[in-house]
Structure 1
């Protein structure tokens, strides 16, 4: 009766041994926890009897276990082997029925079980809640059912309850076989990892079952997590988007932009708030370099599937996934094809090299076929296709022939499914957005597939046939019919993808590829500048290569290529964009010739991408050729020519040839104003570019005025959150800061940086620029702690997103270095500075002003570590180089001169120092005005130099006037004012600017 204690077992009166199939591990863990809380000693024993041992003998071995044996009854418990129900009934009658006190059971399935299981008197735990299931368990074992005291710690989640957040996980594979040690290894590796280091990568060759293993891990251990989220990770942009979709599931308050959501998700996972027990699965992450920086850290776990073992270099534990062991292959084949004997299954496994994907596909249809295993193996050995060759080094040769056999089977049953496969082979392998095909007008589709797309019943039949033979899987995880009808996307393994591509006539190839090209072109949102449409471009771009869009003569497809290049430029996907641009130029030159208008349009986008990574010499050659050709063909006042000239001016800015850039930028703006008017977006872009040139020339007030006009116009004509409006906010705030209007600059940039993060995402290059300028605003206002944190964070993110040699990264590194020189680690400052100087020299050449400026910064580091002579020579070299590059009145030259005078003082050349600062003060007043921060620094430095030559009376006058102006300009308590009052000699930091 309930509440009455009886002996739990014959031996070990208070001990229970739980016998369970690995598939039901979650149930075993929950039951063990419920029993241990009531003082029962529990032993968990996984049931996996060898096929070679009679079932009766395996059951007899169970009676040797301590205490009573509690069997968890499920389909899986009886499928291991596999063995027939007749075998089980005989064994249960002979071994279990005579020992009723030794055995008890719970049932966790509604499927039919061998009839003799009635001898176990199982308690049914299906379709009940946790409390009732626990009560039934305790009653079956004769344990008291009194409730436990309040405050008892929570244990494992009840297996019938799913985690609070669950998304993207494939259906459980009810034919999953073996892999017990791999599952255990992965589990232990995650459990034993330290906080923030719980990353395990399941790696192995294609078709080996990594995804299935990860899915089984989720179902076995998912009850231990509050959040389980599965994302495809074969493409960076798609991975970012899918991870961002976790934000609303976590209850995070964000806007609709996925960049903002991604940031919120990563921060939530890192903090473990609101859930610390989370599991993220990254499926198909074959390129660690593309996404390693986006792998979340925190108290949860990350499980990765990948063909690439290089994940070990990114703080991941590796668990290698080999092909099946032979016994696993035989067990799997016999479940997939019950008509085969163990010996036949062994023969088939040998022929198919124990590769799970191939076993799955072959056994599935072989079970429905009259073909014997021997006949099938003869076909594999060459009888069907003597000319088959390997399509990839990691595909077994048998796969090609096995696929040919399977393809014939598909043709005979649902021929439309073969046509669908062929269409899909012109998308990238992995996730394929078949909805793009279904959204096309029927008249645009080939005759053999138009009916398939328009007839839901035929569509379902084809999809289900492909699923039956494991050729594809549905990406949607609802019911089969609904998922197939929805047709959002299907997943095609790359082995299948490649073999389908080989098995096609040239006529079919051309017909199908044209369909996919038109489908992609129809899916083009048409506005790559709109950040809200970037997820759509992220989905489209991976498929361009496979659809061979660069050979298309369709204007819509060509426009798609150009729009994708524009998107890649704006979103910061520079390297991928450059690869696409290179291939496009080669293909279109062959297709159209050198002078076709499409070539010049393509060159513009390609040059933008090259310029973004600092290859200014290459882009100048491209743009100059375009300018000269278009000028000769169309004249100067023509839009294409003006656009090419815009690019050329940008190249000249990158090369440090600012006067030439100013001349071109000025007449380009005038040309746009004449052709399009003052308010056209292209005119405003030209106005923005002219302001950038003026800033690089040190004409900050003029740049501010022009950027202010551009910002006002963009706010009126575009959305407040439009990327170009936000870009103008960075420019305007930068000009304010360079003019010494620090509070105004901070106010604008602080608000703008927050919007950047929400709209563009935290790792977009423009967002990084906004946050870098905010860090500089903090620094100039004396908020060193906030500046330090932001400088470091921005540099780290930029290195991950763009690489160490990117111009933006080196710009941020320069700031990190000069900040660390004064307020951090001087050794770190020196190491970073050396890399920056060399990086700019390699990229831009020895005569570039950025090389002179960063050498001047490095000289200050040498001064700080006591290497005075080296600092002096390097500073003098920097000063001379800067004067040659930009002239003696440029603020950069004046700043270098302030620093040079300080070092001259250090080595005893005081007369030269005072003469230099005297000249700098005169030039600074002329160029920047009497109260500009750089002029004030020069005046304070000059006072110090006057004291050095013992001209105290004049020094006092110069210093007093400068301090009065500092107070009036920046305030009495500003960090610069306080420093000057304390007679700390000022210095100047060179900041590389964006071009």
Structure 2
């Protein structure tokens, strides 16, 4: 084929000019039909047991129901109030009315953290008809995720209600423009942040504590045999008439069988001993007449009762849960050997059932079975945990999270279950004070970031690594090995997001520190160097990138051995980097004598198959890059056979929409054009361009580059 074109980065990978060829040297794959079912079941509210009767919310519900009446759309309602006041219960009641009575599509998203919000909103887009390719592009940062979501919401065939629950950090919604209005639906937000500046154009509805009579009725409904309505009212007053505290008290009273408590006895116990404050840490400052600190010994009385009944493990389990975040926590996390360091595994089931029975935690279904515990309760329990117990609990929590993650994260299908662990890993880092345990928790968070990155969720990977390093840095030191490793991981994700200048600054700074502290041959330094050379290549600084890549190959060969996957991976990157002359120079000259197998670059795929197996990620990437090298060398027939096999393997494994599959088909089109089969090349590239236009839009650089190649193929 004749005619050149400027080299461009494609699919976030390295690109070098070679007769207009575009290719990828760092192989990642992204999943297909065999991937795990996701937890993003946005049609099911992530709440536990909803109240049978919603007390004293009639006026608010009447206003909200009017907002979702037939023909009403385009509005945003903000339900605000202190933690534990029942905002989510009100939203759930409206959700049920809108879906069951009015027939609206109900969509429920946890907006407590960036990873959960993004994953949930992309699940909304999928529910509203977005295709796999569009979703993948948004998740990879190749197109604005919020634009895709709201485009699909605006085009919805049926009216909808979208609930953004636990939006206590409005900045998360502002970043990326997640909060918008639509002529096809209504948005409801629950939050502890009441300031109008966060919610321009929205209608704010305050959800406060209950009137005395309604508070008494809640307590009496839960424990009708424990006393009269007046006695219940007196206890409710002591609990500040906060629905959360009333639920905890009612759960306790209703489960005392052998020696039942009365309302009066419970009230006396509340007045005795050192009170424990339930502090609403996430709310805006409130007026003096709104209680900010509510005295609550509800859960402590329950834990004392557990101890008296010979079940101290329930108290330990609750304190262990308080090391995590108030977001859905997969139940599988509690079913691992590591929990035995705090709670005997044989007693974990009994302890959990006790907490569930007393409403101290709840089961929620988000596609996987999870526990969810109220944030106000977790904050209170964490604050009251004896200091002597905290390090052991933190170490156990880190071990549990670590056991839930792959030991060595590999490229693989998108796994939405991974993002469920993000808020818990970061919450644990915020709780830890012991430096050794901080290191363990940071290692787990960095491994989680790596796993997210290698399944294509680059935004979540970057945010997780960045937040983990920022949290641990002040405690461990900004130049601690583990902090630097976390920042290096953040730099790799910035690169994949196409933010090359930021990635270079971050990776160069980390590499400089690592080289000074640990040496140029240290594995961490080499890992950062490998990431940096990818960035430099995409910035057009080929010579600098190639020199750095060669040093990484030499360093990894020396430090890890010639057969280590990282060594083979870096050598595979050479196949995607070198020109024809440089590739020829890599081969032994005739008559030079025996050369070690590992020194023949073009034999790398065979070496990878022997050392790692035919399906290993590094092997697949090496074969892809090898096909590119054969093309550069003019060995078109061999190149066509290899890339054809690779492309078909990608298609079967990941589907036709995935970037790596499209990249392989694009290389195949170039090879066929070089072989003179222009019709087949045009057919292949037409399909690539069609898919990229649909997934990325006409103006995306990847689409434009593919369209330019298609034009060149058509004109000859």
For the criterion TM > 0.5, the same-fold answer is yes
Question: CA, structure 1 residues 397+673, in 2 after alignment: closer, same or farther (shift >3 Å)?
Answer: closer
Which of 389, 404, 408 is the aligned partner of 2:300? Answer: 404
Residues 1:473 and 2:362 aligned together: yes
Aligned residue number for residue 422 of structure 1: 319
Aligned residue number for residue 354 of structure 1: 241
Offset at residue 175 of structure 1 (A)? 3.7
Question: CA, structure 1 residues 183+628, in 2 after alignment: closer, same or farther (shift >3 Å)?
Answer: same
> Given that residues 237 and 538 in structure 1 are in contact (C-alpha distance below 8 angstroms), is that contact kept between their aligned partners in structure 2?
yes
Aligned residue number for residue 545 of structure 1: 426
> Given that residues 403 and 499 in structure 1 are in contact (C-alpha distance below 8 angstroms), is that contact kept between their aligned partners in structure 2?
no
Aligned residue number for residue 773 of structure 1: 702
Residues 1:608 and 2:492 aligned together: yes
Aligned residue number for residue 534 of structure 1: 415
Which of 491, 503, 510 is the aligned partner of 1:622? Answer: 510
Offset at residue 726 of structure 1 (A)? 5.2
Aligned residue number for residue 203 of structure 1: 80
User: Matched residue of 1:547: which SS?
Assistant: helix
Residues 1:561 and 2:457 aligned together: no
CA deviations over 1:403-453 (Å, ceiling 9, x no partner): 433432343355433232122112211212232111x13x76147432223
User: 5+ unaligned residues in a row in structure 2: which ranges?
Assistant: 1-42, 140-144, 284-290, 583-624, 633-638, 672-677
CA deviations over 1:877-907 (Å, ceiling 9, x no partner): xxxxxxxxxxxxxxxxxxxxxxxxxxxxxxx
> Given that residues 170 and 198 in structure 2 are in contact (C-alpha distance below 8 angstroms), is that contact kept between their aligned partners in structure 1?
no
Q: Which residues in structure 2 correspond to 1:54-65 (within 5 Å)?
A: none
Offset at residue 355 of structure 1 (A)? 1.5
User: Matched residue of 1:429: which SS?
Assistant: coil
Distance 2:471 2:90 in 1: 38
Aligned residue number for residue 330 of structure 2: 433
User: Matched residue of 2:163: which SS?
Assistant: strand
Q: Which residues in structure 2 correspond to 1:562-711 (within 5 Å)?
A: 562-567=446-451, 569=453, 570-573=456-459, 574-584=462-472, 601-602=485-486, 604-609=488-493, 613=499, 614-615=501-502, 616-627=504-515, 634=521, 642-649=526-533, 659-665=543-549, 668=552, 675=562, 680-688=568-576
User: 5+ unaligned residues in a row in structure 1: which ranges?
Assistant: 1-164, 478-485, 695-701, 737-741, 783-932, 934-968, 973-995
Aligned residue number for residue 164 of structure 2: 282
Aligned residue number for residue 813 of structure 1: none
Offset at residue 208 of structure 1 (A)? 0.7
Offset at residue 385 of structure 1 (A)? 0.6
Question: CA, structure 1 residues 168+223, in 2 after alignment: closer, same or farther (shift >3 Å)?
Answer: farther
> Given that residues 279 and 293 in structure 2 are in contact (C-alpha distance below 8 angstroms), is that contact kept between their aligned partners in structure 1?
yes
The structure showing larger relative contact order (alpha-carbon pairs under 8 Å, at least 6 residues apart) is 2
TM-score under structure 2 normalisation?
Answer: 0.64
Question: CA, structure 1 residues 769+501, in 2 after alignment: closer, same or farther (shift >3 Å)?
Answer: farther
> Given that residues 163 and 188 in structure 2 are in contact (C-alpha distance below 8 angstroms), is that contact kept between their aligned partners in structure 1?
yes
> Given that residues 164 and 190 in structure 2 are in contact (C-alpha distance below 8 angstroms), is that contact kept between their aligned partners in structure 1?
yes
Question: CA, structure 1 residues 626+170, in 2 after alignment: closer, same or farther (shift >3 Å)?
Answer: closer
Distance 1:412 1:405 in 2: 11
Question: CA, structure 1 residues 295+771, in 2 after alignment: closer, same or farther (shift >3 Å)?
Answer: same
Residues 1:184 and 2:62 aligned together: yes
Offset at residue 539 of structure 1 (A)? 1.8
Q: RMSD across aligned C-alpha pairs, in angstroms?
A: 5.2
CA deviations over 1:666-721 (Å, ceiling 9, x no partner): 55567779946999333234554678xx9xxxxxxx99966967996797498456
Distance 1:366 1:553 in 2: 38
Which of 188, 194, 197 is the aligned partner of 1:303? Answer: 188
Residues 1:725 and 2:611 aligned together: no
Greater C-alpha radius of gyration: 1
Which of 522, 541, 554 is the aligned partner of 2:403? Answer: 522
Question: CA, structure 1 residues 775+565, in 2 after alignment: closer, same or farther (shift >3 Å)?
Answer: same
Question: CA, structure 1 residues 628+662, in 2 after alignment: closer, same or farther (shift >3 Å)?
Answer: farther
State the number of aligned residues: 575
> Given that residues 644 and 668 in structure 2 are in contact (C-alpha distance below 8 angstroms), is that contact kept between their aligned partners in structure 1?
no
> Given that residues 177 and 332 in structure 1 are in contact (C-alpha distance below 8 angstroms), is that contact kept between their aligned partners in structure 2?
yes
Q: Which residues in structure 2 correspond to 1:152-191 (within 5 Å)?
A: 170-191=48-69
> Given that residues 565 and 581 in structure 1 are in contact (C-alpha distance below 8 angstroms), is that contact kept between their aligned partners in structure 2?
no
Distance 1:448 1:704 in 2: 54
Residues 1:502 and 2:383 aligned together: yes
> Given that residues 525 and 536 in structure 1 are in contact (C-alpha distance below 8 angstroms), is that contact kept between their aligned partners in structure 2?
no
Offset at residue 494 of structure 1 (A)? 0.2
Distance 1:623 1:746 in 2: 44
Question: CA, structure 1 residues 421+234, in 2 after alignment: closer, same or farther (shift >3 Å)?
Answer: same
User: Matched residue of 2:294: which SS?
Assistant: helix
Distance 1:352 1:677 in 2: 62
Distance 2:571 2:69 in 1: 59
Residues 1:449 and 2:344 aligned together: yes
> Given that residues 254 and 261 in structure 1 are in contact (C-alpha distance below 8 angstroms), is that contact kept between their aligned partners in structure 2?
no
> Given that residues 106 and 160 in structure 2 are in contact (C-alpha distance below 8 angstroms), is that contact kept between their aligned partners in structure 1?
yes
Offset at residue 184 of structure 1 (A)? 0.9
> Given that residues 669 and 684 in structure 2 are in contact (C-alpha distance below 8 angstroms), is that contact kept between their aligned partners in structure 1?
no
Offset at residue 497 of structure 1 (A)? 0.8
Distance 1:505 1:472 in 2: 21
CA deviations over 1:555-602 (Å, ceiling 9, x no partner): 986653333233455523234432223344555559xx85x6x56644
CA deviations over 1:526-551 (Å, ceiling 9, x no partner): 46453524323212222112333895
CA deviations over 1:249-291 (Å, ceiling 9, x no partner): 88x6966997489999876654333xx1433433223334435
Moved more, 522-531 or 609-618: 609-618
